[in-house]
Amino acid sequence: MSIGLIALLDDVAGLAKVAAASLDDVAAQAGRAGVKAAGVVIDDAAVTPRYVVGFAAERELPIVGRIALGSLRNKLLFLLPAALALGAFAPWAITPLLMLGGAYLSYEGTEKVYEALFPHKAHAHEAKRDEAAGDARALEDRKVSSAIKTDFILSAEIMAITLAALPEGSLWMKATVLAVVAVGITITVYGGVALIVKADDAGVAMAANGSRSAFGSLVRGVGRALVKGMPGFLKILAIVGTAAMIWVGGGILVHGLEGYGLPQIGHAIHAAAAGAAGVAGPLAGTVEWLVTAAGSGLVGLVIGAALIPVTSFVLAPAWNSLARLRTRAV
Q: Report, as ranges of residue numbers, the positions in the chain whose pLDDT lies below 50.
A: 1-23, 33-34, 36, 131-133
The Cα 182–Cα 287 span in angstroms is 31
Q: Quick one: pLDDT at residue 168?
A: 72
Measured between alpha carbons, how far is 163 from 94 in angstroms, rounded to an integer? 11
CA distance 290 to 238: 19
Q: What is the pLDDT of residue 123?
A: 54
What is the pLDDT at residue 2?
45
pLDDT at 80: 92
- Provide the domain limits for residue 58: 2-329
Counting the structural domains of the chain, the total is 1
CB crowding 197-235: b at 16 or more within 10 Å, else e: bbebbebeebbebeeeeeeeeebbeebeebbeebeeebe
Q: How many CB atoms lie within 10 A of CB 245?
A: 32
Question: Looking at residue 19, what is its pLDDT?
Answer: 38
Alpha-carbon distance 39 to 35, whole Å?
A: 8
Cβ contact 146:47 at 8 Å: no
Spatial CA neighbour of 106 closest among 253, 265, 245? 245
Q: How far is CA 93 from the centre of its chain?
A: 21
Distance (Å, whole) CA 117 – CA 226: 29
Supply the pLDDT for residue 39: 53
Question: What is the predicted pLDDT for the residue at 327?
Answer: 66
